[in-house]
Amino acid sequence: MKRSAHQSGGLRLSVAETGTGAPFIFQHGLCGDASQPAQVFPLDTAFRCVTVECRGHGLSETGSKNALSIETFADDITGYIERSNMVRPVLGGISMGAAISIRIAVRSPGLIKALVIARPAWLADPAPDNMRPNALAGDLLGRMQPTEARLAFEDSEIAACLEVHGPDNLNSIRGFFSRQPIDVTAALLSGISADGPGVSEDEIQRISVPTLVIGHERDAVHPISHARTLAAWIPDARFVEITPKAESPAAYRADFQAALATFLNEV
C-alpha cells in the first residue's frame, strides 16, 4: 500500500493507494481506515483503490472534534479530487464512506462518473435507528473508562440483539472500546451516529451516474433494506446481495470483489 499526504483545512490527511490504473476513490467506514476498502478491492481491474483516510481515522490528523462530520469528510475528499486534477473518477464507500459518497454525488454531480454504495447505514435522514449501537458505545466511552464502558455495553439490550442479528457488528463495536485515542473514538461514534449525508430523498433520486449498491443480510447496523431502497431510488443503479460477513468472511470478500470487478470493468 502506497502512502501520500493531502492537506485540507490545515490538517494532514493520509492517502493510501492499492493497485494501478484509473482512480477509484473508495472510502472506509466509521472508525475504520484504508485497510477496510483495500481488503475487498479487486486487483484484476484497470483501476487503483485510493482512500483518503478521514479526519480522526487511520494516519490522518483529527483537528477539532467539533468539525468531525460527514459534510466535512465529503468536503475533504472533494478537495482532494479537485486538487489532484482527477477527471471524473469512480467514487464509492462502505457504511459511512457510502454516506460521504452519496453526499458528493448529490452536491458535485459532475465530479464523478460512477458511484459505489456498499453496506449503507444511512438513507437521507440523520441519526437513523440502526446507528443506535454505535451511538451507545460513543456515549458510554464519553462518560466512563473504556473497561467500564465495554462492560456496560455488554449488559445492554442492544448488545443482546446484536449477538443474534448482527454478530459482526458486535465484534466491530467491541473493538471500539480499545481504539485510540479514546476521546476521538467517543466523539466519532457519538457525532457521526447522529449525523447524516445532508441530502434529501428527492436529491438522491436525481443521481444520474451508473451506481452499484451492495448489501447483505445479518447486518443490524447496515440493514439490507437500506441498500435495496437506495437501489430503487437511484435510476441507473443495480443491487447486488453478497454473503454476510458473519457467515463467512472469505466468501464476503470474494463476493464483494466479484461485484466490484464486474461493475468497474463496465464503467
Instruction: Give the per-residue pLDDT at 1.
Output: 92
Domain 2-126+196-266, CATH: 3.40.50.1820
The answer to whether residues 81 and 55 touch, using CB atoms and an 8 Å cutoff, is no
Which residue ranges make up each domain of the chain?
2-126+196-266, 129-190
pLDDT value for 70: 98
End-to-end CA distance of the chain: give it in Å, rounded. 24
Q: Angle at which helices 132-143 and 167-176 pack, to 10 degrees?
A: 20
**pLDDT score of 20:** 93
One pLDDT digit (tens) per residue for the chain, 267 residues: 999 999 999 999 999 999 999 999 999 999 999 999 999 999 999 999 999 999 999 999 999 999 999 999 999 999 999 999 999 999 999 999 999 999 999 999 999 999 999 999 999 999 999 999 999 999 999 999 999 999 999 999 999 999 999 999 999 999 999 999 999 999 999 999 999 999 999 999 999 999 999 999 999 999 999 999 999 999 999 999 999 999 999 999 999 999 999 999 999
Nearest of 54, 29, 65 to residue 191 by alpha carbon? 65
Per-residue model confidence (pLDDT) at position 68: 98
Peptide bond just before 181 cis, omega within 30 deg? yes
Say whether pTM exceeds 0.85: yes
Q: What is the pLDDT of residue 227?
A: 98
Q: If you average pLDDT over every residue of the chain, what do you get? A: 97
Q: ∠ at Cα 3 (58, 263), nearest 5°?
A: 85
pLDDT at residue 9 in the model: 94
Edge-to-edge strand ranges of the sheet holding 22-27:
2-8, 11-18, 47-52, 22-27, 90-94, 114-118, 211-215, 237-241
CB environment 150-184: b (16+ within 10 A), e (fewer): bebbeeeebbeebeebbbbbbebbeebbebeebeb
By the 10 Å C-beta count (0-12 exposed, 13-18 middle, 19+ buried), 121 is classed as buried
Residue 229: predicted pLDDT: 98
